Amino acid sequence: MKIENNIAIISLGQSYDIDKLAEIVDFSNSSLIEQVKGVIIDASELININVMGLEVLSLKDKIHDNNKHNLVFYGLKPETRTILEMLDTDKEYGELINFDSLSKAITFIREKV
């Protein structure tokens, strides 16, 4: 994970593993989450997903300035997106916003949040 201009960028790698989950949980429970205005989830390498995806989605509620555009994805494949949407059956976390490039995701957060 890295933080640039109050935007956290979290790379998920190819699959969720315990180290990635620990990093997300630690970030979620730290004071850093209150200092960012948005989070970009880099899912460009992601090839499988499981219920740990809810931990990623729950970051949306913990960002200090909570709004519907404060968590976006970059490189989320359609099949992975479908699984995340199925996990969020109540649409508690809102629409999953996805970009095909990191620069577009950063520009979007800077403009919307």
Q: For residue 59, what pLDDT is reported?
A: 84
Find the CATH number of the domain harbouring 105. 3.30.750.24
User: How far, in Å, CA of 5 to CA of 92, rounded?
Assistant: 27
Number of domains in the chain: 1
Query: Could you tell me the residue range of the domain that residue 104 belongs to?
Result: 2-112
Q: CA Rg, the chain, in Å?
A: 13
pLDDT in tens, 68-111: 788 999 999 888 888 888 877 777 767 789 999 999 999 999 99
pLDDT in tens, 27-55: 999 988 888 989 999 988 887 776 567 78
Alpha helices per DSSP H over 1-113: 18-28, 32-35, 53-62, 78-87, 102-112
